[in-house]
Amino acid sequence: MIKITNLQKRYRKAKSFALQDVNLEINQGMYGLLGANGAGKTTLINILTTMSPKTSGEILVNDILYEPGNYPAIRKSIGYVPQEFGMFPNMRIDEIMDYFRILNAVPQLEGSERIKNLLEYLNLSQHADKKFKHLSGGMKRRLSIGLALINDPKIIIADEPTTGVDPNERINIRNLLLDLAETKTVIMSTHIIEDISYTCKELAVLSTGKLMFSGSIGNLLNKYAGFAWEYKTKDENETENIRKQMLVTNIMRENDGIILRILGKDIDIDGAKRIPLSLEDAFILLEGG
């Protein structure tokens, strides 16, 4: 378990906090960290991975307190999947995996068996001799997950793991993380709401360094129950007027008319009907519309 209490981060010369009074409890399973660019997600990840010190507050990981003397033990319990990572271009996948085995001080016999299993798990066995410079974006992402698992950590932190990959690869990566979450704590930081909807039951929403919500997706949806509407019209002028006056999140044009998705507690349009709320709807409303 990760327990964060009154966490604050302020950079030198900054006028405002990058993180302010963040309180979270994260247990085994998939946990989503959602927010727009600049929300504070990367700052929180940098602190959790010990790459950046906190300004104040307390963090416990499996009852280990975050302080410099405990960093080596904390690092052994965390596997980090970065959004982007570089590597020597002519190194092969199997060489990269073995290089990280050595860096993580995993014994050769144990590590060789683990690497073999990881390559099979990540569907990279047939590409083990392929050089890094020849890997697709999706293969690099799967490789980065394998590198994070070299020392069999209890916690995986994945930063924007599906950004920039094709739809099929996105599904593959999400399923890999879901499988890992059966026995580990997996934190997925992203601005892609679909990824959170697909994988997580619990999430935290950050905005400009502040925690806007933490808890179950169900509770967040209940918070704004009844706020989503659908309205169908054939009039382009009416569509444009509604778009200018209300919070319209989607316009879909069909052969027999135009369907508008509208957010609001109450809307004054005859014929509009309430529809189920999506996580994207709730996020937009939480951010202030």
257-263 and 247-254 as β-strands: parallel, antiparallel, unpaired?
antiparallel
What pLDDT was estimated at residue 182? 95
What pLDDT was estimated at residue 289? 66
CA neighbor of 5 nearest in space, from 46, 47, 37: 47
What pLDDT was estimated at residue 163? 86
| pLDDT tens digits, one per residue of 118-172 | 999 999 999 999 999 999 989 999 999 999 999 999 999 999 999 888 999 999 9
CA neighbor of 148 nearest in space, from 137, 159, 162: 159
79 pLDDT exceeds 70? Answer: yes
Residue 285 to residue 143: CA distance in whole angstroms = 37
Edge-first strand order for the sheet with 228-233 is 247-254, 257-263, 228-233, 273-274
Mean pLDDT, residues 226-232 taken together? 96
Residue 136 to residue 216: CA distance in whole angstroms = 35
Those residues whose C-beta lies under 8 Å from the C-beta of residue 156, and which sit 6 or more positions away, are: 78, 79, 80, 81, 145, 148, 149, 177, 180, 184, 185, 186, 187
CA 152 to each of CA 33, 75, 147: distance values in angstroms, whole numbers, following the listed order:
22, 12, 10
| Cα Rg of the chain (Å, integer) | 22
pLDDT, the chain, mean: 93
H-helix or E-strand containing 21? strand 19-26
Say how many CA atoms lie within 13 Å of 227 toward its Cβ. 25
DSSP conformational letter for 276: P
What pLDDT was estimated at residue 85? 84
What whole-number percentage of the chain has pLDDT above 70? 100
14 pLDDT exceeds 90? Answer: no
What whole-number percentage of the chain has pLDDT above 90? 87
Provide the pLDDT confidence category of residue 215 given band limits of 50, 70 and 90: very high
| pLDDT tens digits, one per residue of 247-286 | 999 999 998 899 999 999 989 899 999 999 999 999 999 9
| Torsion angle of the four alpha carbons 62, 64, 67, 73, in this order, in degrees rounded to the nearest 10 | -90
Edge-first strand order for the sheet with 78-81 is 64-65, 56-61, 2-9, 19-26, 210-216, 202-207, 29-34, 185-190, 155-159, 78-81
pTM of the model: 0.90
Which amino acid would we find at residue 232?
K
